């Protein structure tokens, strides 16, 4: 597909959705709920090898809950990580493509059911009603590959440069750009240097599908490393392939201020898909539930996020199809009020 301008691609899609779009929710915890064992450096990407049917099932659960955008299971899927598990480069590339194919298969199943009159909101001109759906190919950070918690603090050390990060990500981005996905989602970006590396890669490789960038934050002002969210958003705003900028894997209580900071430096659509509110202990590799936000409280933020500038909303870690269903209802009501 030819690359539309940043305002056109997501703008057209948002209009199709009624002004707001629903992003899916947490993948790993849903895979575990369906019986997957993710105690592995590959995390949810392990299921690409062991149980792809479970990934498809989770994607479909989110589509049935009202998601307009489903994100592939490639967040932790790196060629280097696969090689460390004895998977060849060719096999690793095939698994990356497979992550997108599985999401596309779920979309096809959803659309097929919709054509049989099962649901929902979007009339595509043929009399069939369904939600419009995009498939986003996930790219996780270098820290996610390290699986040492650095994806949550953005501290990679002085030896890691923009060039190091471009070399690390280059082939994965090339493969995913040609996988059949509608866009690439650079997720949980924890620092300015990685944002710069991604932006340069998109230009150097002339990637011809759109991308969005989402950053993580621990304080509502800066990304996880301490770099300014406004500065990070400015870096990626200037990249023509970038069609949306936002926040994921962050506590809901910080989102409103972060949206306001991003809106000051971009006119591109803003996306937010926070965690449930729990915090992740990178050393113990477990979620600390004491600071969690009840599902109804999470959803109560949605109207405010829209008021300050967000137009694509979903959930990240520990959110469920029930969360997404509730978000979809809120956004649907807003669409009818617009």
- CA 110 → CA 78, 132, 196, 325, distances in Å? 28, 10, 36, 15
Q: Which two tokens stand for residue 123?
A: 């009339």
Q: 178 CB contacts (<8 Å, ≥6 apart)? A: none
DSSP three-state, residue 12:
helix
Flag whether 316 is marked binding.
Answer: yes
- Tell me whether residue 187 is exposed, middle or buried, using C-beta atoms within 10 angstroms of its C-beta: 0 to 12, 13 to 18, 19 or more: buried
Distance CA 167, CA 267 (A): 30
317 is in an annotated binding site: yes
What ranges in the chain are assigned the alpha helix state H? 6-17, 28-33, 46-50, 52-64, 79-84, 89-115, 142-146, 162-177, 192-204, 229-237, 255-263, 295-300, 302-307, 321-337
Provide the token pair at 171.
């082939």
Dmax (CA) of the chain? 58
Beta bridge mates, 6: none
Quick one: CA torsion of 87, 89, 94, 97, rounded to 10 degrees?
120
In sequence order, the 6+-apart residues with CB closer than 8 A to the CB of 300 are none
Binding residues: 249, 316-317
Binding residues for Zn(2+): 249, 316-317
């Amino acid at each position: 597909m030819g690359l539309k301008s940043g305002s056109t691609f997501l703008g057209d899609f948002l209009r199709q959705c009624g002004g707001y779009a629903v992003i899916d929710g947490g993948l790993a915890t849903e895979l575990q709920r369906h019986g997957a064992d993710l105690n592995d450096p590959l995390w949810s990407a392990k299921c690409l090898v062991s149980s792809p049917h479970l990934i498809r099932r989770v994607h479909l659960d989110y589509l049935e809950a009202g998601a307009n955008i489903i994100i592939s299971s490639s967040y932790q899927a790196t060629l280097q990580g696969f090689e460390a598990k004895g998977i060849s480069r060719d096999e690793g590339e095939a698994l990356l493509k497979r992550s997108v194919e599985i999401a596309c298969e779920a979309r096809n199943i959803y659309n097929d059911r919709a054509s049989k009159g099962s649901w929902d909101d979007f009339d595509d001109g043929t009399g069939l009603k369904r939600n419009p759906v995009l498939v986003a190919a996930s790219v996780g950070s270098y820290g996610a590959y390290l699986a040492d918690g650095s994806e949550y603090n953005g501290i990679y050390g002085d030896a890691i440069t923009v060039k190091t990060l471009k070399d690390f990500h280059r082939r994965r981005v090339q493969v995913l750009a040609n996988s059949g996905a509608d866009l690439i989602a650079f997720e949980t970006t924890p620092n300015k240097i990685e944002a710069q590396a991604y932006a340069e890669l998109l230009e150097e490789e002339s990637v011809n599908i759109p991308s969005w960038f989402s950053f993580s934050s621990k304080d509502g002002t800066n990304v996880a490393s301490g770099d300014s969210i406004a500065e990070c958003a400015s870096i990626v705003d200037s990249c023509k392939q970038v069609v949306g900028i936002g926040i994921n894997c962050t506590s809901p209580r910080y989102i409103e201020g972060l949206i306001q900071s991003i809106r000051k430096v971009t006119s591109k659509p803003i996306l937010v898909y926070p965690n449930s509110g729990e915090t992740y202990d990178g050393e113990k590799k477990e979620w600390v539930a004491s600071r969690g936000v009840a599902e109804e409280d999470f959803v109560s933020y949605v109207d405010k996020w829209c008021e300050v500038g967000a137009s694509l909303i979903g959930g990240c870690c520990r959110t469920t199809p029930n969360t997404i269903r509730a978000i979809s209802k809120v956004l649907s009501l807003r669409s009818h009020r617009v």
